[in-house]
Every structure is written in C-alpha cells, then in structure tokens.
Structure 1
Amino acid sequence: MDLVRHLSFFVAVAEEGHFGDAAARLEMTQPPVSQGLRRLEKELGVTLIRRTSRGADLTSAGRELLPRARLLVDDAKRLSAEARRLADRADVLRWGAVLHLGAPLTAVCAQQVASATTDQDMVTEPASALVAQVIAGSLDVAVIDHPCVTGTLVADSVVRLPRWLVLPADHAAAGAARPRLRALTDLAVCLPPRAWNPPAHDQIVDGFREHGLDSAVRPVTSDTELVAAVAGGSAFGLTAHPELFAAVPSVRCASVSTDVTALRLRVIHKSPDHAAIAADVTAALRSEADGGGHPK
C-alpha cells in the first residue's frame, strides 16, 4: 500500500468533511478515494472517518492521527519538491574563488567553467571559507591562494602569476623601472586580512623580510580599499592586473625582478567527478601566467 498517498486521501476527506469534495480537491473520482481510505483503515487497524448522511466525520482515532498524517503528507511533498530542485540543478557546477583573484582572472575561470557545464553558481570568499565549503560539498571546485591548509581535498599544481607593485605616484620608487623592495620601507604594505589564509599571508610577509622589507601590514579587502590606501601616499600593494590601475592618476604600477610578490593559486576539489574541470581551470590560469592575454 502507498501509505503517503492513502494518508493524503484521509487528510483531504477530514479537511473537506465530504468524500465528493475531497475527490474534487484530489482531482479524482469519489470511489477510489473511498476505497483508499478503507484500505488505510484496515492497514492501521482503526476507523478514521465515520460516514454519515451529511458527509464524513472524524472518529476519536481520526482526530488524534490527523496532525501526524498532515506532517507525513507535507514532508513527502517537501521531499519531492527538493528532489525536483536537485534534479533541475544537476548540471549546475558550483565553484568559488578567493576575493582577491580579481575580475579578469575570475572571468577566465568562469569562461572555462561555462565550456564544461550548462550552468554555474559562483561565490567569492576567503580561502579558508572556500576550503570548508568544498569539504562540506556545497562547492564543487574552488580557486584558492597557496599555501593553504586543504586537508584531504585534491589540489592541482600551483600556478604562479606575476604581480606588480601598486605605488603612490609621487613616491621615489615609482619612477624606477624595477624598484627594489627595500626602497619601500617607508610605506605600509596592503595585503588581504591574515585570517583569510594565514599560511599565504605569512609566506609573503616572510619573503618581504628576506628582501630587506619589514613594513607594517595594512589589511585591505578590495581593489577599492587598495587604491584608497595607496593614493593616500602611505602604503603600497600588489596586483596581477596593472591595467586596472592605469586610469588612476595618483598611483603607478611597477614590476619587480623577484617572484616573492607572485600570486600563487591552486584549484581544489573533492570528487573525482570534478577532476577534469579542475584541471581545465588550472590550465586556463597557467595560460594566463604564461602570457596568454596577460599584460607584460
């Protein structure tokens, strides 16, 4: 016996108080509803509905069991609706990227994802949050900065993208072809907050110190905050996309000879089903690092 279906007959008759009205609500004829209710009563071993000349009245057992019957019927409807939603989204690839990846690189990744799936959902979060979401299964793939604690997740090879210094236009180092990092000791360095990815944050700070630069760190969470800090004349930052700052008169971008400033990225995933798209996104990022569309 289809328990949920027969419970829906019971709920409809109880709420309508009439077999004919219940059948109309269920878009059925009356005999199957009446027969189904009798089967349910036989299965449960109690009489639920008392048939009268006026229609249908609940028995004492029916009154006690009706609330639970409603819950079961409603839960079954919600289950079916959720299953339909998941089926409709079966071809949606859910992916994420670190907030400081930047619009151009995010677009490169999105184009690669679009070539492999009919639809995509994308979020931008700190690396630590992206790792947690991939582990939990709410994301399929994520682009994070390296190094990062990823646990048992699968991480593709590291891609290094060059980054330029973003300097105040009137700073002495702004006119040099390739300024030395130690020439920036009078400026704070703008970096994403350490909490976003402590290992990556500490690696770059340690790299600066090895090159004679031990500046105060100013956390920034966006290019807008970076521009504001640099334009104020007291800080410098890093960008993988100097073209985005070309129209800002108060800042200058300069390349450096060391790769300590490089943006190191990895694509992570959990399921073998997503290994191919992760590899494709890694390849697209590597193409950018090798100069495919990346400004020199």
Structure 2
Amino acid sequence: MDLRQLRYFVTVAEERHFGRAADRLRMAQPPLSQSIRRLEVDLGVELLHRTTRRVELTDAGRSYLVRARTILADVDDAAHEARRVAAGSVGHLAIGCVGSATYSLLPPLSSHLAAELPGVDFSFRGEMLAPDQMEALRTGAIDVALLRPTVADPSLTVVPLRRDRLVVALPAVHELAGHREVRVTDLRQADLIVHSAGQRSVMYGVVLGLFRDAGIDVHVRHEVGETSTLITLVAGGLGVAIVPEPVTALALDGVAYRPLVSPAATVDLAVAHRSDRTEPHLARTVDIVRRIV
C-alpha cells in the first residue's frame, strides 16, 4: 500500500466511475483498476462493488474512504508545515532585551515580527543584563538577545547593530538640567545611580571608565539592576545617571535628559544567538532585527 493507491481509491470513490476517475487523474483506466485491485488484496476486503455502469462503495469502502481522506489531508498538512518551517515561517523564539532596548526597540520590533512572521510564537524578556543574556543563550532560556557586547564568546554569534550615544539623566530641578549639554567633569560632585547587579552590567564598566579617563573620582550612591528603577530614582532626586540615548524613550515627569560630551560617550548594541542555531525562523528574525535597528 502506498499514498498513490489511497489517492486513486479516493478519486474513484468520489467519481463512482473508473473512466471519469482515470480522466481526472490523467492516466489510463487499466492501471487504475489494477491499482485498486492490489489495494483490496492487500487489505483483504472488497472496497468497491463494480457494475457495468457504476461503482458503488461497500460498507468497508465507505469506512475506509473516511480514513483515507484523513490520512491524505494529514500528509498534505505535513508537507505544508515542512515547507513553512524550511521558509522560517513557523516556530517559537524567546528574545531577551537589554534595558534600553526594552523601551526603544521592543515596541516596533514586536510589531514587525508579528506582521512578517505571524506563524512564529514570540516571547520577550526585558530588562536583562548582558551577562544574564549570554548565559540564557547558552542554556537555551532565550534564543535571541539584544545586548551590549561584552567579552567575545566563540559559542555565540554576535552581530553589531549600531552605536548609541550616551546621555545624562538628571532630576528636572538639578542645576545641570539648565545646560544644553553636560561634560563628565560637570559631574565631579554628583551622586551617581548606576546599573550594577553585582557589577556585571556593561554600563557599570562604561560609566566608571568615563570617570577614570577624566581623572576624577566617582560617587556612586545607588546601584540598580533595571533601567526603569534607575530612571525612577533619578526622578525622585536621588542622583544622576549616564544611560544610552534610547533610554530617553522612558519619559518620566521630573527627569531631564542632556547629551554627554565625551570622546568615549557611546556604547554598542548588538544582536546575538548561539552559533550552532541554524533554524530558518531564527535567521529571519535576526534579519528583521538588523533591518529595523
């Protein structure tokens, strides 16, 4: 028994006539009749009652027709699903985002992904520090990461996306909020709020490097793990923060953003995934991310 025999049987059962079925299948009638006979022999039952004018289904034939149609439909569905998988149109992906990307990129990204890959089930994790994202990629907890690049890892493919400028988030009542721009040296006496979570944040190293290069001491008042918490503390007047420019999408009353003037006042953004991941829907997702960013 093979799928061709099932298709032949279904066609004959629908036409109730070998001649019309042969025309529909674009084949000669004798081999069609022989194929149905072989099917009946293999099954050990008579499926069709033949007369000189018509073909009628036996009780066994009516029952077999229902199952044959189901089998053929499942086979067609499987082929369609395989083609969709090969085209990267179906699957599941978890995407992790660094804090600034959570607010500036996640809204348009999620919209584009839903429109261009409607068959892919996406989930998102925001406010992830880069080291946590890299570990989550290695373990499979997430599949794609929007992160600030750290030390190179040969097990991960990291594709640069853009370089973001740094800005200073200030309480709106701070004296520097009246300036058009802020220099690192202007923050000599400022209380800083920084990303840290155990000093594993990329931004923690960037901020401390800016002060070190300027030759001034840094006064860290608060260390936080989430960008939203950091900006909330700035709004509360507890200090100032140096953040990537996309964080300005997180607009809170009581916070003013000013450009930071420094030769090193930038930080990179990249998209990353495990190097051994080659699924088409993952590759299409990375392409969409690169195009949007």
Aligned in 2, Cα 1:261/1:236: closer, same or farther, shift over 3 Å? farther
* Structure 1 stretches of at least 4 aligned residues deviating more than 6 Å after TM superposition: none
User: Does structure 1 residue 254 correspond to structure 2 residue 258?
Assistant: yes
Letter in 1 for 2:258: A
- What CA distance in whole angstroms lies between the structure 1 residues aligned with 2:230 and 2:201? 19
- What CA distance in whole angstroms lies between the structure 2 residues aligned with 1:177 and 1:107? 29
Say how many residue pairs are matched.
196
Match of 1:272 in 2: 278
Aligned in 2, Cα 1:199/1:149: closer, same or farther, shift over 3 Å? farther
Give runs of aligned pairs for residues 101-112 of structure 1, distance below 5 A. Answer: 101-112=101-112
Normalising by structure 2, we get a TM-score of 0.57
Aligned in 2, Cα 1:99/1:168: closer, same or farther, shift over 3 Å? closer
- What CA distance in whole angstroms lies between the structure 1 residues aligned with 2:249 and 2:98? 20
Aligned Cα RMSD in Å?
Answer: 2.9
Aligned in 2, Cα 1:102/1:133: closer, same or farther, shift over 3 Å? closer
- How far off its partner does 1:206 sit? 0.8
Contact 1:189 1:215 in 2 (8 A): yes
Which of residues 139, 144, 164 is equivalent to 2:142? 139
- What CA distance in whole angstroms lies between the structure 2 residues aligned with 1:194 and 1:214? 21
User: Does structure 1 residue 219 correspond to structure 2 residue 227?
Assistant: no
Normalising by structure 1, we get a TM-score of 0.57
User: Does structure 1 residue 231 correspond to structure 2 residue 235?
Assistant: yes
Contact 1:187 1:236 in 2 (8 A): yes
User: Does structure 1 residue 116 correspond to structure 2 residue 117?
Assistant: yes
> Counterpart of 2:210 in 1: which secondary structure?
helix
- What CA distance in whole angstroms lies between the structure 1 residues aligned with 2:215 and 2:236? 24
> Counterpart of 2:160 in 1: which secondary structure?
coil
Match of 1:5 in 2: none
- How far off its partner does 1:212 sit? 4.3
Match of 2:212 in 1: 209
Of stretches 252-261 and 126-135 in structure 1, the one that deviates more from structure 2 is 252-261
Match of 1:91 in 2: 91
Aligned in 2, Cα 1:117/1:149: closer, same or farther, shift over 3 Å? farther
Aligned in 2, Cα 1:145/1:112: closer, same or farther, shift over 3 Å? farther
Letter in 2 for 1:98: V
User: Could you list the runs of 5+ residues in structure 1 that have no partner in the other structure?
Assistant: 1-86, 286-296
- How far off its partner does 1:216 sit? 2.5
Contact 1:145 1:263 in 2 (8 A): yes
Letter in 1 for 2:256: R
Match of 2:290 in 1: 282
